């Protein structure tokens, strides 16, 4: 009896059915599931890859943790004992920063920029900088956008940039200047992301403090951690050291709204593709219903022989068709993602300072989720024709 059931299963696997119409429609459904699976997994991979790239790019310029005064833009560097912060486990580097807005003049060109005086050059910017990466005296590194505005060339290490920084809380009169004057010698250019490239200049902290005649004033303290996983731990330890006058912000908190926006985009895209695949899977319901009708006599013979697993037969056929399509699609998409990350054959198609080809990144649980979801939908769609087959009377 069970051998008869197995024979019926073998004869009626939709992809190998002798009925040409069922065979063709089965292949169309199978291919639709495969293509749909590839579409979902590759789309997820592109969104993940792009999200990682954007987050990495936007945080290249930022430190892992930033300490600032919640009541004032500036505070005395001696107010915070940075040596105690350096003793916290997982802290890699502590960097004092002074940020000022300045008017820049270089030859006949000028612009407004934010000047960052730093103790140490940000290691994360090393690969993004052309030219000198050490600050000696009045040396500075320009953002790409700033260098373009000033028409600066790396071949010129002679001409200096004249800077004017507005004074704070000063009464203006004929005898008092309303700004501090100084010079910077550009020795390099960095390129991270447009909003940084167009607005920032990096220089030596001591030199900027000298120009503004504020020897000990800083605006922030930047902290770099050995691993992103330890950021929250380090923040907690710093909170225990400082008073409530200071605000401590991590780069993860800065990324909060960006992450939410990217996640919403990901969910909406997946929902759109899922609806398309569900429409394609409706063919599965139609195909199983056709098989049930064409095999009515075989089903009745099996029932006369006492076979009770008719429901399981058609339920398994539908699940097999959808599940197999999902697995094949996942394997093909994994190959596509691997090749894309190796050789980058899918190009962005526009001039980009970031990447030439689409970055792709996907996790195992996302693969598994796609397979289980499509298999589950196939199971649901198989219930109706399977129950219909069980209702045939002798």
In angstroms, rounded to a whole number, what is the distance separating the alpha carbons of residues 63 and 220? 11
- Torsion, Cα 344 350 355 360, to 10 degrees, reads -50
Between 335 and 382, the more confident residue is: 335
Closest by CA to 238, choosing from 225, 227, 229, is: 225
Task: For residues 55-67, give the mean pLDDT.
Answer: 77
Entry pTM: 0.66
Judged on CB neighbours under 10 Å (0-12, 13-18, 19+), 387 is middle
Q: What is the pLDDT of residue 58?
A: 65
**DSSP helix/strand/coil, 13:** coil
Q: What H or E segment, with its residue span, contains residue 196?
A: helix 194-197
Q: What is the pLDDT of residues 73-102, one digit of tens each?
A: 888 888 888 889 989 998 988 989 999 999
Q: What is the mean pLDDT of the chain?
A: 81
The C-alpha atoms of residue 53 and residue 45 are separated, in whole angstroms, by: 12
Q: What is the pLDDT of residue 88?
A: 92
Quote the pLDDT of residue 190.
86
Q: What is the SS3 string spanning 134-185?
A: CCCCCEEEEEHHHHHHHCCCCCCCCCCEEEEEECCCCCCCCCCCCEEEEEEE
Q: Sign (positive/negative) of CA torsion 215, 217, 223, 224?
A: negative
Alpha-carbon span 153 to 176, nearest angstrom: 35
DSSP state letters, 295-345: THHHHHHHHHTT---HHHHHHHHHHHHHHHHHHHHHHHHHHHHHHHHHH--
- The residue whose two tokens read 């200071």 is 246
C-alpha–C-alpha distance, residues 296 and 298, integer Å: 6
- 323-360: per-residue pLDDT in tens? 888 899 999 999 999 998 888 887 776 655 567 788 88
Task: Label residue 134 by pLDDT band (50, 70, 90).
Answer: low
- Confidence class for position 110, pLDDT limits 50, 70, 90: very high
Query: Percent of the chain scored above 70 by pLDDT?
Result: 84
What is the average per-residue pLDDT within 105-131? Answer: 79
Exposure string of 16-26, with b = 16+ CB inside 10 Å and e = fewer, is: ebeeeebeebb
Torsion of CA 329, 332, 333, 335, to 10 degrees: 160
- Over residues 260-273, the mean pLDDT reads 82
- Would you state the pLDDT for residue 382? 86
For residue 331, the Cα-to-chain-centroid distance in whole angstroms is: 23
- The answer to whether residue 249 scores a pLDDT higher than 50 is yes
pLDDT of residue 1: 45
What number is the average pLDDT over the span 143-153?
90
Does residue 171 or residue 37 have the better pLDDT? Answer: 37
**Residue 149, token pair as written in the block:** 């505005």
Q: Pick 220 or 15 by higher pLDDT.
A: 220
pLDDT at residue 121 in the model: 66
Lowest mean pLDDT among 27-41, 86-100, 167-181, 216-230: 167-181
Q: Roughly how many angstroms between the first and final C-alpha of the chain, as a whole number?
A: 17
Question: Count of CB atoms within 10 A of residue 104's CB?
Answer: 22
Vertex 29, ends 27 and 33: CA angle to 5°? 115
User: Over 90-147, what HEC string results?
Assistant: CEEEEEEEEEEEEEEEECCEEEEEEEEEECCCCHHHHHHEEECCCCCCCEEEEEHHHH
User: Is pLDDT above 90 for 114?
Assistant: yes
- Is the pLDDT at 39 greater than 80? The verdict is yes
Confidence band of 5 (pLDDT split at 50, 70, 90): very low
Rounded to whole angstroms, the Cα distance separating 97 from 21 reads 73
Radius of gyration (Cα) for the chain, nearest Å? 33
Which of 53-57, 202-206, 265-269, 297-301 shows the highest mean pLDDT? 202-206
pLDDT at position 139 is 87
Lowest mean pLDDT among 2-16, 155-169, 207-221: 2-16
Tell me how far apart the alpha carbons of residues 89 and 234 are, in angstroms, rounded to a whole number: 7
pLDDT above 90: percentage of residues in the chain: 19
């Amino acid at each position: 009896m069970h051998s008869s059931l197995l024979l019926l299963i073998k004869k009626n696997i939709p992809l190998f059915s002798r009925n040409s119409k069922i065979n063709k429609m089965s292949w169309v459904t199978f291919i639709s599931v495969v293509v749909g699976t590839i579409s979902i997994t590759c789309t997820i991979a592109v969104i993940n890859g792009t999200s990682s790239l954007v987050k990495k790019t936007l945080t290249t310029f930022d430190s892992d943790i930033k300490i600032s005064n919640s009541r004032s833009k500036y505070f005395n560097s001696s107010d915070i004992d940075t040596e105690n912060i350096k003793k916290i486990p997982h802290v890699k580097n502590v960097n004092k920063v002074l940020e000022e807005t300045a008017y820049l003049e270089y030859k006949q060109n000028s612009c407004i920029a934010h000047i960052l005086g730093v103790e140490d050059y940000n290691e994360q910017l090393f690969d993004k900088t052309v030219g000198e990466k050490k600050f000696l005296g009045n040396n500075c590194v320009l953002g790409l956008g700033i260098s373009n505005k000033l028409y600066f060339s790396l071949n010129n290490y002679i001409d200096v940039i004249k800077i004017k920084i507005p004074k704070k809380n000063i009464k203006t009169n004929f005898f008092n200047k309303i700004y501090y004057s100084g010079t910077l010698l550009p020795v390099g250019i960095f390129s991270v992301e447009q909003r940084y490239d167009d607005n920032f200049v990096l220089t030596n902290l001591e030199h900027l403090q000298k120009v503004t005649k504020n020897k000990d004033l800083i605006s922030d303290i930047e902290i770099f951690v050995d691993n992103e996983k330890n950021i929250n731990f380090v923040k907690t330890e710093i909170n225990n050291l400082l008073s409530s006058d200071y605000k401590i912000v991590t780069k993860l908190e800065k990324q909060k709204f960006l992450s939410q926006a990217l996640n919403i985009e990901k969910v909406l895209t997946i929902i759109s593709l899922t609806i398309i695949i569900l429409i394609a899977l409706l063919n599965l319901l139609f195909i199983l219903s056709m098989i049930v009708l064409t095999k009515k006599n075989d089903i009745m013979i099996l029932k006369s022989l006492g076979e009770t697993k008719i429901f399981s037969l058609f339920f398994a056929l539908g699940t097999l068709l959808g599940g197999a399509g999902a697995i094949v699609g996942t394997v093909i998409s994994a190959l596509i993602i691997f090749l894309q990350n190796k050789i980058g054959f899918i190009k962005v198609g526009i001039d980009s300072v970031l990447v030439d080809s689409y970055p792709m990144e996907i996790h195992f649980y996302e693969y598994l989720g796609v397979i289980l979801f499509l298999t589950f939908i196939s199971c649901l769609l198989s219930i109706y024709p399977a129950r219909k087959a069980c209702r045939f009377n002798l």
